[in-house]
């Protein structure tokens, strides 16, 4: 299921004295089965953009097409619910939304609310516990007995339990230690590859964008100002720094990016690997 944004504009609190324009004429195509990273400085419109991708926000102008479904400012009710069936969002710190008394019940909650029979929901929960590399005995534990990384996996399982074909990740590794970060990013890479999930990652990490995405969209002051393969985007080093997106100065990053763009990166001072 591919996604296309055409001339998308969005203003918060439109028509009030607090009106705040957050997106201007955003055009983007996210092909089915791709892994797209959205990068940009704080306040550049990344979160506003991704809330358009599952119908939580509707464009003030322009349109968002998700497969056969089109969302405009006029779209209402059922059509927005239909979009949400296909698009799962893992928000920042998703574990804050865990609340059930057992892990299994937490994962089953969403699908059962959408009318999935209990047995089917339980089967999905157990499959996901395994797919996400959680120990099988967590199913009957309280989510709050788990480690931070495990809690995050349970919350991610709760999103996957809806069987989305598009998975949106908003800074999914925020607050994890380097090992936890790598594990979660490798998990999403595997889901993308093995389950064919169209994956959209909002991230501050140029390393993750370089390593995992096959397309990057750069946001700056509410506009999509640059997009292309990581090779194409990282080759625009000067332009990126004008958007306050300096390339990281680690040896590992230089190695990855030079491999991608097939030439040395100019002018960045390197620090040792962190
Ligand atoms: P990012 O995710 O890249 O940090 P956001 O999409 O959160 O950017 O924000 C884009 C712009 O919209 C910013 O100027 C921000 O202050 C503004 N904004 C975000 N959320 C709201 C809101 N609920 N009400 C008013 N303005 C908002």
Note the pLDDT of residue 256: 73
pLDDT of residue 112: 93
Ligand 1 pocket at CB < 6 A:
12, 20, 22, 40, 42-48
Residue 173, number of CB atoms within 10 A of its CB = 23
Ligand 1, atom nearest to 51 Cα: 6
Q: Which of 26, 37, 45 maximizes ligand 1 atoms within 8 Å of its Cβ, making it the mutation to test the pocket?
A: 45
Cα–Cα nearest to 56, from 93, 92, 89, 13: 89
Q: 241 CA distance to ligand 1 centroid (A)?
A: 21
Atom of ligand 1 nearest to the CA of 18: 25
pLDDT number for residue 5:
97
Predicted pLDDT at 215: 95
Question: What domains lie within the chain, and their CATH numbers?
Answer: 3-228 (3.40.50.300), 229-274 (no CATH)
Low-confidence residues of the chain: pLDDT under 50: 267-274
**pLDDT, tens digit (0-9, with 9 covering 90-100), for 11-35:** 999 999 999 999 999 999 999 999 9
CA of 37 to the centre of ligand 1 (A): 19
Compute the radius of gyration of the chain from its Cα atoms: 19
Mean pLDDT score across all residues of the chain: 89
**What are 217-263's pLDDT values in tens digits?**
999 999 999 999 988 898 888 888 888 887 766 777 777 777 766 66
């Amino acid at each position: 299921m591919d996604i296309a944004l055409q001339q998308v504009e969005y203003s918060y609190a439109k028509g009030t004295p607090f009106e705040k324009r957050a997106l201007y004429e955003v055009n983007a195509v996210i092909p089915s089965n791709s892994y797209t990273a959205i990068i940009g400085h704080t306040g550049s419109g990344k979160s506003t953009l991704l809330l358009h991708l599952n119908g939580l926000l509707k464009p003030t102008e322009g349109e968002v097409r998700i497969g056969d479904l089109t969302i405009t400012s006029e779209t209402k009710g059922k059509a927005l619910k239909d979009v949400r069936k296909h698009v799962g969002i893992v928000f920042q710190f998703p574990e804050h939304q865990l609340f059930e008394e057992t892990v299994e019940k937490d994962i089953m909650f969403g699908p059962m609310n959408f009318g999935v029979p209990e047995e089917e929901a339980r089967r999905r929960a157990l499959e996901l516990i395994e797919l996400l590399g959680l120990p099988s005995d967590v199913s009957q534990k309280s989510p709050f007995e788990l480690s931070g990384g495990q809690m995050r996996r349970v919350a991610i399982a709760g999103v996957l339990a809806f069987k989305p074909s598009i998975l949106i990740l908003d800074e999914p590794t925020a607050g994890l230690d380097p090992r936890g970060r790598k594990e979660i990013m490798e998990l999403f890479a595997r889901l993308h590859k093995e389950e064919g999930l169209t994956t959209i990652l909002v991230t501050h990490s140029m390393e993750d964008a370089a390593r995992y995405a096959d397309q990057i969209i750069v946001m700056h002051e509410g506009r999509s100002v640059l997009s292309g393969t990581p090779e194409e985007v990282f080759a625009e080093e000067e332009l990126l720094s004008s958007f306050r997106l300096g390339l990281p100065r680690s040896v590992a990053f230089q190695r990855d990016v030079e491999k991608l763009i097939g030439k040395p990166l100019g002018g960045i001072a390197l620090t040792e690997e962190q």
